[in-house]
Chains A and B, each alone.
Chain A
């Protein structure tokens, strides 16, 4: 199943990744590439918009864990937004809300980034 896509855009100096589709063990490499690309370009204020994300598996959750340290060490952050209730439930079960800031709306998250800088 490769019906997973990451696209990039910018929203007030925040680098937004739009995730679309089904994120599981087969498609996580795409997300890894996306994070690596942003980090390589020293873009550390990352917002992951999950509006069109239909599913995330444990392997997908692992990707966020893999890069968060790096990003925070560089005074950036990975924030998430626009999750469907189902996807939020998966994040929530594992305790992600205690590790990441998760917003209902993208602009809230962007504001949070701005407030910090």
Chain B
């Protein structure tokens, strides 16, 4: 890009140099130009085309497409200044200028040629830049006709210029005059494209006024200079007639356009402040709605909201109160809370003043708004009955109280104050009320986000609990050739209250326990962990199931909630003899299938945690069974028997008994799978809502 620009400049510079040399050589030859006249015109045209390319690429790269109109206007004003300055400088130089004969101009010396050339280049360049920038202004918020009108203007301007290519410097033609007139028509048409002015800020409009005036006077001056047959005019005419026409028309365009711009800006100025404010309101609302989706930090949000409140209604002070989410009307009811805890953000007002305005009376503006859920505007705080309780606060003249209402419930209140009375117009009240709706959504959004974060955190904690609980049940069961054992446990929720465990009491005897804590979920999981601890420590000390259950009850009863209880079934198996000793504490009976019999073994026994001491001990019974080869024992929790089909019928004891009996000859693994599959097939997805545990013991014989 840079090389291209340099080439444009060097190229046009070279061409201008060639033209200068030609002019210098032919200076004294009468009619000497005639032979290469056409070539010279083309050279000049090519030089300016290259210059245009340079200007165009320079503007494009400098702007990157984004430059404010005011900067463009400034640039144009500067260039007219440069042009006029160069005119003044050249006109005070002691030059000999031209001799005119037969409508032809003859420079008296080489210096005249040089300055004519330079003057023409600067004039052409200034006008190219002007037209290029004005194009950007015209095209701001362009309509369908904008481009067409501008292109037509350019075409007419170039035609007018081109029509003069073979005229002698002091000659004129009808064609030129007509085209000139048409060009003026299009200049006027294009000069109504001034919509960019409306969107300038007030400050920018003042600058625009100044720049437009400067540009207007600059172009007018150029017009006046060029309309007289002065030496400067002659210099341009001598160098190139079409260029002169182009400069003249451009200057005309400039003066008309910037004259119009000046007047238009002047008329826009009184409304500029209001326009600014509207713009500001719109952008504030826009920013706020963007904020809703971006800011999840509550404090950030509150700060932004109060700051924006100051901006949208030009308030002197503002604060935001958020009400407690539990439905209470104010903070400070609980210990360690202050009633100003709801004031999440405050601008330009003292907390003492806030406290007095909010809580200075039973019938404060705050309680009025909370009960009415409507906007309250106090135009004259000192004189109004509703605010008569407010004293000593000097810098509050007007008070605006806006409830933030979501689903018909106030969730917060936005306050804005002004030092003078009657400080807020209807307009302000409307905008703040619209603003309040956005704020309500933003606050609700932030709250929801916080809630979902919290939920996510709990979910993570639960997953950790789940992992930990999985480790509380045996990862593998000990292997005995005589006893084939398999177990499975699945909680309905992340964690549950089902429990099974196995412990080696000595080399040959194993203790098997299955339990169920009342309830489900986290509460049950805690007790389940406690039971695990009790089982692991007490089972090795007390060698009979009954003794163990009595001691376990003692350990539990002190720590368990009175509405919770734990059911356990505990069996001790001698792996040498197949002798099984069983006790039950409120748990589902053991399922027992031998080759000739299928039955539930149900020794009496109360659940753990229901009664202490003797009352409990007396209920516990012990059963002895000697297993024979192929006998199957199944321990389980009520999740199995209480599973429901889609019609609401329970899986039940009969079905379980039949199922196990049917699988009696299979391995423990297959029996376990058979039960799970059977329950699964029986229920639809909704029926399976309890923790479920199955432990299968199959006696293989010694």
What residues make up the interface of A, taking CB atoms closer than 8 Å to B? 25, 55, 58-59, 61-63, 65-66, 69, 86, 93-95, 98-99
Q: For chain B, residues 553 to 594, give those with C-beta under 8 angstroms from any C-beta of chain A.
A: 562-565, 567, 585-589
Chain B interface size, as a band, is 20 to 34
Task: Note all chain B residues with C-beta closer than 8 A to A55.
Answer: 642
Residue B619 is within 8 A (CB to CB) of chain A in the complex: yes
Q: How near does chain B come to A28, taking the closest CB pair, in angstroms?
A: 9
- In the assembled complex, which residues on chain B have CB atoms less than 8 Å from the CB atom of A58? 516, 518-519, 565, 567, 638
- For residue B638, which residues in chain A have a CB less than 8 angstroms away from its CB? 58
A91 to B: closest C-beta gap in Å: 10
Count A-B contacts at CB 8 Å: 53
Cβ A95 vs Cβ B589 within 8 A: no
With A62-B519, A63-B563 already in contact, the answer to whether A98 and B619 are too (CB < 8 A) is yes
B619 — which chain A residues lie within 8 A by C-beta?
95, 98
Contacts of A61 in B (CB 8 A): 518, 565
- Given known pairs A62-B564, A65-B563, the reply for A94 and B606 (CB within 8 Å) is yes
**Besides the contacts A69-B562, A94-B610, A95-B604, what 17 more A-B pairs have beta carbons closer than 8 Å?**
A55-B642, A58-B516, A58-B518, A58-B567, A58-B638, A59-B518, A59-B519, A62-B518, A63-B563, A65-B562, A65-B565, A86-B650, A95-B585, A95-B606, A95-B607, A95-B610, A95-B619
Interface string of B519-537 (1 = CB under 8 A from A): 1100000000000000000
The chain B residue with its CB closest to the CB of A59 is B519
The residue of chain B having its C-beta at the shortest distance from the C-beta of A54 within the complex is B648
Q: For the complex formed, measure the closest distance between the CB of B612 and the CB atoms of chain A, giving whole angstroms.
A: 12
16 CB < 8 A contacts A-B: A25-B520, A58-B519, A58-B565, A58-B638, A59-B520, A61-B565, A62-B563, A65-B562, A66-B562, A69-B562, A86-B650, A93-B586, A94-B565, A95-B604, A98-B611, A98-B619
C-alpha spacing A93/B95, complex, angstroms? 126
A61 to B567, CA, bound (A): 12
| CB of A20, distance to nearest CB on chain B (Å) | 15
Residues on A with beta carbons closer than 8 Å to the beta carbon of B259: none
Tell me, rounded to whole Å, the shortest Cβ–Cβ distance linking A48 to chain B: 15
In the complex, chain A residues whose CB is within 8 Å of the CB of B107: none
In the complex, the chain B residue whose C-beta lies closest to that of A65 is B563
The 8 closest A-B pairs by CB, nearest first: A95-B606, A58-B518, A62-B563, A66-B563, A94-B586, A94-B607, A59-B519, A65-B563
Question: Complex formed: what's the CA distance from A25 to B642 in Å?
Answer: 14
Q: Which residue of B lies closest to A58 (CB)?
A: B518
Bound: A65/B638 CA distance, A: 20
A55 CA to B649 CA, complexed, in Å: 11
Is B567 a contact partner of A93 (Cβ separation < 8 A)? yes
Q: How far does the Cβ of A89 sit from chain B's closest Cβ, in whole Å? A: 8
The contact of B605 among A25, A95, A99, by CB within 8 Å, is A95
Q: How far is the CB of A103 from chain B (nearest CB, A)?
A: 20
Q: Which of B516, B563, B605, B642 has the most CB of A within 10 A?
A: B563
Which of the residues B516, B565, B586, B605 comes within 8 Å of A62, measured between beta carbons?
B565
Minimum Cβ distance to chain B for residue A38 (Å): 17
CB <8 Å contact, B606 and A99:
yes
By a CB distance below 8 angstroms, the chain B residues around A93 are 567, 586-589
Smallest beta-carbon distance A64→chain B, Å = 8
Specify which of A62, A63, A66, A98 is in contact with B606 (CB 8 Å cutoff): A98
- Set of chain B residues within 8 Å of A86, measured between Cβ atoms: 650
Most buried by A among B585, B604, B610: B610
Q: How far is the CB of B499 from chain A (nearest CB, A)?
A: 14
The chain B residue sitting closest to A63, CB to CB, is B563
